[in-house]
Chain A
Amino acid sequence: MNTHEQSLSPRTPIMVFGALIFLTLATVLLSGLDVGNTGALIIAMSVASIKAALVLYFFMHLNHEPLIFKLFLGVAFFTLLAIFVLTFSDYSFRVI
């Protein structure tokens, strides 16, 4: 009934934490680069997405949850994506 067979060794959480700190420092350093507005936005959001994925997958234990949990996440993600894409398909072509 319970699919929880995770190891309770602190090794994985600490390694994930190390990666999160590394990515935080990396994104601060990368923000100093002169890559233009869009470039900076893409870099910052990509790093943030990787960090969020690490937290969701390891800290929130999605890695040990059944498929339905991942499907829910997928539905939420694509709903968000649709809202953003549809909004910008409007605002990008407006003459303000």
Chain B
Amino acid sequence: MSDTAHPIEHHRDDEGTRLGFWLFLYTELFLFAALFLVYAVYRSAHLEDFKLAAENLNTTIGTINTIILLTSSLTMVLSLDALKKGSVKLAKTLLLVTFALGMAFLVIKGFEWSAKFDHHLFLQTAKGIAAGEGSPLFTPGEEMLPVGQVLFFGLYFIMTGTHALHIIIGATWMLIVFFWMSKGSINQDNHGVLERCGLYWHLVDVIWIFLFPLYYLIA
């Protein structure tokens, strides 16, 4: 191969980049699929315990968080559409709204977790955990949670925690995209980064769409 004297052409393959990003998204999907598989196996083995433990989760809070995430997906779509139309200002505003909704989701999740901690429900690998007084699971004389419920809460914290980590990554990415949009390096013609950030955000939404019924609804 000879050194080329031609000026470097900045060839951009948007479609190929998107396809590659979808491949990455499938690896994320399989990360969660492994957790869903563990959930499915243990749920089938400890059905009654899972149902009892799930009664500790607040369906209203779960529903509110679902609606928040769905709304953030909408504003993300509208932000990308606005950028494609050339209205950078609107795109930036909508991106900030998406970011704020992501933060709202995290704050609510934080309150939910701390309520669980108050009831002495933690992520524990031990065979049983002590259910403290005030916990609906507290039964005098029997201080240990059944193994099935320990598994339920272990999976609850691991799965919602992994999901929350993805929310944090997505939200951080949004701030970076926002910065680049302010600088003008992401614009109407070059919107691939915002598009991929959006794809990532929607995937996080899709995963929550499955987490929500499995933890909050089928108690």
Contacts and interface: CB of A to CB of B under 8 A. Distances in A.
B84 A21 contact: no
B70 A20 contact: yes
A65 to B, nearest CB: 7
Interface string B63-84: 1001100110110111001001
Contact of B33 (A44, A73, A83): A83
Interface residues of B, number: 45
Given A52-B209, A76-B26, A83-B33, A28 B59 contact: yes
A96 B205 CA distance: 35
B217 A31 contact: yes
Interface in B202-219: 202-203, 205-206, 209-210, 212-214, 217-219
B37 interface: yes
B199 A60 contact: yes
B202 A59 contact: yes
A79 B34 CA distance: 12
B186 to A, nearest CB: 17
B70 A52 contact: no
A68 B22 CA distance: 11
- What are the 3 closest A-B residue pairs judged by CB atoms, nearest first? A44-B213, A31-B217, A17-B74
